[in-house]
Structure 1
Amino acid sequence: MGLFIKVEPGVKVYVEDLNPGGCKTIVFLHGWPASHRMFEYQFDQLPKRGYRCIGIDQRGFGNSDKPWTGYAYDTLADDVRGVVEALDLHGFVLAGHSTGGAIAIRYMARHKGYGVSKLALCAAAAPSLIQRPYFPHGQTREAVLKIIQDTYSNRPEMLRGFGDMFFYQHTTQAFADWFFQMGLQAAGWSTIAVATSWLDEERLFEDLGKIHVPTLILHGIHDKVCFFPLAIAQNEGIENSLLIPFKYSGHGLFYDERDKFNKELIQFTEEG
């Protein structure tokens, strides 16, 4: 079931709500520059196991409205809160991939984990996607600036290159085209604005210590976007967290090792 939820005057985000009568709820936050559709290989399986799966298209991406402003992590986390309140969600698992993982962390800190019973971070872009003087593990600032410039000059070519580094396992041309089209569905300005947030956002380091629910960290050891040391930093910064390395995955572990990904997420959801 697809629906639009108003998160602020003039802005609605698209939500895919699968199996609303499910026994347990998992809310999925997608990574840049995709949409809820990136979790197709979870949505194909988890509802059959009795789970309610909710995929949110962040503003500027997928089917959501694409306003000119509002792409800082605080606002994106507030959008999630708007969806949670509109659907009256309680006791759910919040699962975020890449930038969606960063937004999930900000949601936990900014909204004190409202409604969340457990957190799943999947190749999360946290505590910093880029290198900083005190954190040498991310992408260079120059690499992100190049992504931004390439988006301005030739967004389709930028998306092709990003897609080529996303997965570790072989993908077919048809699959690459499908993934590429997801990126094209976003607005150019929102694609740029979120990438700019990677450069400016440093508060996730302190946000990690504000997470007080069981946390699962899934991360591919071959990740070329959010390098594996980011997962180690998350594990060290979040109490009651468990890190599970994916030995045959890159950034797209939700597809590279989709059976393992689904198994670990189901097991985590069921525990306790």
Structure 2
Amino acid sequence: MSEKHRRTHAEIARPGFIATTDGVELFYRDWQPLGGPGNGRTILFVPSYSLPSDMWAYQMLPLARQGFRCVAYDRRGHGRSSDPGGGYDYDTLADDLAAVIDALDLSDITLVGYSMGGAEAVRYLTRHGSTRVARLALIASTLPMLAKTHDNPDGIDRAYVDAFQQDLLTDYPQWLASNARPFAGPDASESMIDWVGEMALRTSHQALFACNETVSHGDFRNELRDIDVPTLIVQGDRDVSNPLELTSQRTARLIPHARLVVYEGAPHGVFLSDAARLTADIGAFASAS
């Protein structure tokens, strides 16, 4: 695929941060290989909606120990990145991803996107091309389209989005507490759930609201047909956030040569509920020739 848009002229702003063209500083972590058979191949992780790069700790550390270079960053308005007050559309978010790739001069990447991060990864590929990306992994993604419309009648009704946004405006901590167990699954410890909740509570409320609008309007049904790299799709069959039948099963039919792996009994938060299995699947996929 040829590059359709200009490359992002990004640079290291200060240790641990990358400056985008619109003045946002993106926090990133770059964990060098610690040994093992990964041979220094790069895995770049894009986090979930509402969560920073910390969410990937239980994949990044074991994979770095296996010999992979593991890179992750905080989306604008999340974690330690700038809270710029705008730029939460998919094009800008994909350009932020391009800024990370360019500033660190990454290549032969296995690009791993979780939930909303999967859509950002796809938009990066269709907007910037696949020159630097060798493989794509979509984990519990929001793709191809969540909203209920006349041509997507099985989608999620707008009333659900409105109810969540009302919780954002009134009592987001209570919403998190009520939805934590369905997200993480029955076996996650209370301490692990608390950790995830604390990360989500540090995210900019404006970013949460704006990104929720972006996700709810996303339509990637045509774009997915243009993906030209090997693609792994992983999702739990008890995902109440992004139902399997609405998301990954349809995505697998749209992306050429995609492989769908369904985790039986797993919730949306497979990076917690099935951390070791997900790590192994990502490592095996990143090792493929």
TM-score grouping bracket, smaller chain normalisation: over 0.9
Aligned twin of 1:12: 25
- 3-state secondary structure, aligned to 1:219: strand
Encode CA deviations 1:109-133: one digit per residue, 9 max, x unaligned: 1112241100000001111123332
Q: Is the 8 A contact 1:169 1:249 kept in 2?
A: no
Aligned twin of 2:129: 112
- Structure 2 matches for 1:85-234, cutoff 5 A? 85-202=102-219, 204-229=220-245, 230-234=247-251
Encode CA deviations 1:7-41: one digit per residue, 9 max, x unaligned: 12321111111116861000000111111111111
Q: Is the 8 A contact 1:220 1:249 kept in 2?
A: yes
Encode CA deviations 1:206-251: one digit per residue, 9 max, x unaligned: 1101100000000111001011011111100000110000113110
Q: What is the one-letter code of the residue matched to 1:9?
A: D
Distance 2:186 2:56 in 1: 17
Encode CA deviations 1:134-189: one digit per residue, 9 max, x unaligned: 22444322111111111011121222233232122322221111111110111000
Distance 2:199 2:158 in 1: 25
Aligned twin of 2:57: 40
Q: Hey, which bits of structure 1, 4+ residues long, moved more than 4 A?
A: none
Root-mean-square deviation (CA), in Å?
Answer: 1.5
State yes or no: 1:247 paired with 2:264.
yes
Distance 1:136 1:51 in 2: 42
Q: Is the 8 A contact 1:74 1:106 kept in 2?
A: yes
Give the 3 Å change call, closer, same or farther, for CA 41–137 of structure 1 in structure 2.
Answer: farther
Q: Is the 8 A contact 2:41 2:67 kept in 1?
A: yes
In structure 1, stretches of 5+ residues that fail to align are: none
Distance 1:136 1:66 in 2: 35
Q: TM-score, normalised by structure 1?
A: 0.95
- 3-state secondary structure, aligned to 2:29: strand
In structure 2, stretches of 5+ residues that fail to align are: 1-14
Aligned twin of 1:73: 90
Q: What is the one-letter code of the residue matched to 1:5?
A: I
- 3-state secondary structure, aligned to 1:129: coil
Q: What is the one-letter code of the residue matched to 1:71?
A: Y
Aligned twin of 2:71: 54
Q: Is the 8 A contact 1:15 1:54 kept in 2?
A: yes
Report how far residue 108 of structure 1 moved.
1.1
Q: TM-score, normalised by structure 2?
A: 0.89
Q: What is the one-letter code of the residue matched to 1:246?
A: Y
Distance 1:77 1:106 in 2: 6
- Structure 2 matches for 1:253-272, cutoff 5 A? 253-272=270-289
* Percent of pairs with identical residues: 31
- 3-state secondary structure, aligned to 1:45: helix
